[in-house]
């Protein structure tokens, strides 16, 4: 959407790369690949011992992956506003930033809340992939506690908490605006009574 060519190319490249590479592969690259880069550039030449924490790698991969999707959702929300809204705002004397802030974004935010809520729930589900790089999630911790104490209540409470939080997030989003298509009735002759 930017008028600056290199900024547009950079953002399109970011979105296309991180949306098309699976999250699991990105987590592997963030954990093992980033550690290899740190080893070759810092650890071996300077004799350092810098280790990439698995939590950092998981957060980095989730952030890059989700940022690409969220950026595309916001972009599509802004582009869904009819061109006439932009033109009407500009014709009243508003600058580009004022038109975006006061006219376009309030409408676009309303349209993007359901897909953004969907992506938030997908982040919660994506954290389970963090176990690949040794990040335990809430249910993994509850399972560990259950095996130590032989008490299944932490597992049940963790699962219930996760389910309720995702249920509440999905209910907070307003329903998508529905577009109902009505077929026009063909022209019908009406009988007029003579005066």
**In the chain, what are the domain boundaries?**
5-135, 137-174
Cβ–Cβ contacts within 10 Å for residue 180, how many? Answer: 4
pLDDT of residue 22: 94
pLDDT of residue 171: 64
Q: Which residue has the tokens 């350092």?
A: 48
The pLDDT confidence band at residue 125, using thresholds 50, 70 and 90, is confident
Question: Domain 5-135 in CATH: superfamily?
Answer: MetI-like (1.10.3720.10)
The pLDDT confidence band at residue 131, using thresholds 50, 70 and 90, is confident
Name the pTM for this structure: 0.71
pLDDT of residue 17: 96
User: Structure tokens of 63?
Assistant: 């952030």
Q: Could you report the per-residue pLDDT of 146-183, keeping only the tens digit for each? A: 788 787 776 777 778 877 877 766 566 565 555 554 54
């Amino acid at each position: 959407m930017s008028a600056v060519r290199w900024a547009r190319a950079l953002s399109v490249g970011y979105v296309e790369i991180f949306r098309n590479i699976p999250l699991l592969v990105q987590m592997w690259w963030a954990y093992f690949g980033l550690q290899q880069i740190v080893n070759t550039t810092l650890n071996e030449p300077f004799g350092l011992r810098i280790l990439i924490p698995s939590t950092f790698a998981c957060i980095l991969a989730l952030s890059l992956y989700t940022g690409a999707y969220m950026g595309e959702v916001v972009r599509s929300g802004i582009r869904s506003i009819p061109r006439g809204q932009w033109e009407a705002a500009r014709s009243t004397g508003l600058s580009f930033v004022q038109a975006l802030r006061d006219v376009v974004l309030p409408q676009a935010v309303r349209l993007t809340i359901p897909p953004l809520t969907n992506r938030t729930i997908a982040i919660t589900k994506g954290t389970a992939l963090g176990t690949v790089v040794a990040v335990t999630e809430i249910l993994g911790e509850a399972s560990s506690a259950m095996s130590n104490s032989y008490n299944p209540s932490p597992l049940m409470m963790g699962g219930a908490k996760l389910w309720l939080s995702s249920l509440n997030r999905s209910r907070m989003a307003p329903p998508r605006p529905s577009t109902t298509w009505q077929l026009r009735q063909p022209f019908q002759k009406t009988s007029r009574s003579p005066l």
